[in-house]
Amino acid sequence: MPLHTPFHERTAALCTSYQWKDWAGHAAVCRYAHSHEPEYYAFRQSAGLIDVSPLYKYEVRGPDAARLLARMMVRDIAKLRIGRVTYCCWCDDHGKVIDDGTVTRLDEDWYRVTAAEPTLHWLQRLGRGMQVRIEDASASLAALALQGPNARAVLAACSDADLDGLRFFRVTTAKLDGVDVWITRTGYTGDLGYEIWTQSENALRMWDALVAAGTAFGLRPCGLDALDMTRIEAGFVLAGVDYFSAPRVVLESRKSTPNEIGLGWTIDLERDPFIGQDALRREKKYGSAWQLVGLEVDWATLEALYDSYGLPTYLPAEACRSALPVYRGRRQVGQATSHTWSPLLKKQLSLATVRLEDAALGNELQIEHTVEFERRTTKAMIVPMPFFNPTRKRKP
């Protein structure tokens, strides 16, 4: 039986659709009602509240904490100031990505790491012989993501946090209905939003306070289906879908470097050694093989395709994670791994990994599209990412 998150009592009562899925061994709501669209619109137009407790969370403390994380992450964690959060990824010796997540510096010698995959063994291995205490806080910390244009107003209504002072990718402590919480201005929707962390025993109180405060602002509990759509709009990659954690695959060709999954910008290459540095230096010198791109399906060809079958254009309402081949002319140049219809942008979007030489912005590619059991292709253009990037996301 899957584990229950600290919010299960509330989420289970609300989940009238009975649609759940496994997230790191926990039961996670896919959608609360039969349609997930209201949840999508909550994220984009009012405020969505999603239980993200199944994230793996680790507390790294001690005088060598920064040294350990600087060695582990491609980003120079030594430079991270107190009260800041950073998004980064970490690699194996060959510069292939193991996982991605956030690092929050809570105090001088205190960091919190989130990860998609279990990471304790890796932290422990790297921490051998260092003055550092590593604690798996995955079960003891509960987390909610509050995302959407009204998120700030909801939070202001129920907590004492200085939200105007809390800039993008910062952390603050606060009281929320008397409960001690950390609030980070982070999220996986690419919108204005916060993630709120507390000890698991306070979870329900925190949920109730947020829901009560949110009623006036259109807050809605959301599930993973809506989150998946928003993260694709935001151009965020997902481990196990858009790329594969290097130690979990055997084939070399299935592994990716940070550059190849669009995380090249997180690398601080020239500094003390970190894991994968040599390989990433070589990659910088000789170039990478692949690149992550955003694809936008050309609506006219799609419509024409369906028209040729005498059908109205049909696209699934939810995001899809089955990989599809991407061609340039007759040559397969890569694969599209995440797809969604964007109700807001009225576009069909895909995240794709294509050969570097074919990855220029504006290139016209073909993506497989099945109509009536027949495999056809439609035109798709490489467009800049994120597909959706509201200014409110970073606005002070």
Partner 1 sequence: MSDRSYDVAVIGAGHNGLAAALTLATDRRKVVVLEARDQPGGLCSAREFHPGYTAPGVHQDTSGLQPALADRLAPHGLRLRKEEFPVYAPSESGKGVRVWRDANRAHGEIVGLSEKDAEAYRDWRAFLDRVGPFVRSVLENAPPPMNVSSLASLWELGRRGLALRMLGTKDMTEVMRIAPMCVADWLQENFESELLCEALAAPAVQNTFTGPWSAGSAVQLLFHQCRAQNEIVGGAPALIDALVAACEARGVEIRCNAPVANIRVRDGRAGGVVLADGDAIDARQVAAACDPKRALLDLLAPGWLPVDLEERIGNVRARGTTAVVWLALSDSVQFAGREDQRIEAARVGGGTLDDLERAFDCAKYRRVSDTPALDVRVPTIANPGLAPNKHHVVTIHASFAPFDVDGGWTDAARNELGDRIVDRLAAHVPTLKSRIVGCEVLTPDDLAREYHVTNGHLHHGEHALDQMLFMRPTPSCAHYATPIDGLWLCGSGSHPGGGVTGTPGTLGALALMAP
Partner 2 sequence: MAKANRYDAILIGGGHNALTCAAYLAKAGKKVVVLERRHLVGGATITEEIHPGFHFSACSYVVSLLRPWIVRDLNLPKHGYEVIPLEETFTPFPDGRYLLRDADPERTRRAIAQFSQRDAEIYPMFGQAMSELGRQVKPIIDQPPPDPSSFDPRELFKLLGLGKTITQKGDDWTAAHVKMLTMSAVDFLSEWFESEHLIAPMSVSGIIGTFLGIRSPGTAYVLLHHYMGEIDGAFRAWGLPRGGTGAVAEAIASSARSFGAEIRTEAAVEHVILDGDRATGVVLENGDQLHADTVISGCDPHRTFFGFVGEQNLDSEFTTQIKRFKMRGSSGKVNLALDALPEFTCKPGVGRHLYGDITIAPDIDTLERAYDDAKYGEFSKKPFMDIVIPSLNDPSVAPPGKHTMSMFVQYAPYKLKNGPQDWENLREAFGDAVIDHLAEYAPNIKDIILHRHVLTPWDLEQTYGLTEGNIFHGELSLEQLAFLRPAPGWARYRTPIRNLWMCASGTHPGGGIMGSPGAMCAFAVLGEERR
Q: Note the residues at the interface with partner 2 (CB under 8 A).
A: 2, 22, 25, 118-121, 124, 136, 247-248, 250
Sheet (strand 85-91) strand order: 85-91, 97-107, 110-115, 56-61, 133-136
Block residue for tokens 């200014």: 391
> Of 214, 150, 151, 158, whose CA–CA distance to 186 is shortest?
151
| 269 in contact with partner 1 (CB under 8 A) | no
Q: What's phi and psi for 29, nearest 5 deg?
A: -70, 130
For residue 275, the partner it binds in partner 1, partner 2, none, with Cβ less than 5 to 8 A by kind, is: partner 1
Q: Kindly state the tokens that stand for 320.
A: 């899809």
Map residues 71-110 to x or -, x wherever contact with partner 1 holds by CB under 8 A: x--------------------xx-----------------
Kindly state the DSSP code that residue 76 receives in the 8-state scheme. Answer: -
Query: Residues with Cβ < 8 Å from 72, sequence gap 6 or more?
Result: 90, 122, 123, 126, 274, 275
| 121 in contact with partner 1 (CB under 8 A) | no
> Of 36, 5, 39, 37, whose CA–CA distance to 221 is shortest?
39
| 241 in contact with partner 1 (CB under 8 A) | no
Spatial contact of 17 and 165, defined as CB atoms under 8 Å apart? no
Q: Which is nearer to partner 1, 66 or 219 (CB)?
A: 66
Q: Which is nearer to partner 2, 88 or 123 (CB)?
A: 123
Q: Which is nearer to partner 1, 131 or 140 (CB)?
A: 131
Q: Which is nearer to partner 1, 128 or 346 (CB)?
A: 128
Query: Whole-angstrom Cα distance, residue 171 to residue 146?
Result: 14
Spatial contact of 334 and 324, defined as CB atoms under 8 Å apart? no
Q: How far is the CB of 247 from partner 2 (least distance, A)?
A: 6
| 285 in contact with partner 1 (CB under 8 A) | no
Task: Using DSSP, state whether 127 is helix, strand or coil.
Answer: coil
Q: Which is nearer to partner 1, 128 or 285 (CB)?
A: 128
| 286 in contact with partner 1 (CB under 8 A) | no
| 252 in contact with partner 1 (CB under 8 A) | no
Give the H or E element holding residue 284: helix 277-286
How many angstroms separate the first and last alpha carbons of the chain?
43
Q: How far is the CB of 301 from partner 1 (least distance, A)?
A: 47
Binding piece for partner 1, criterion CB under 8 A, among 29-37, 126-134, 155-163, 232-240: 126-134
Q: Which is nearer to partner 1, 72 or 263 (CB)?
A: 72
For residue 386, the partner it binds in partner 1, partner 2, none, with Cβ less than 5 to 8 A by kind, is: none
Q: Which is nearer to partner 2, 91 or 155 (CB)?
A: 91
Binding piece for partner 1, criterion CB under 8 A, among 45-53, 131-139, 251-259, 272-280: 272-280
Q: How far is the CB of 142 from partner 1 (least distance, A)?
A: 32
DSSP for 260-279 reads GGT-GGG---SSS--TTHHH
Q: What's phi and psi for 351, nearest 5 deg?
A: -100, 130
Interacting residues toward partner 1 by CB under 8 A: 71, 92-93, 125-126, 128-130, 272-275, 278
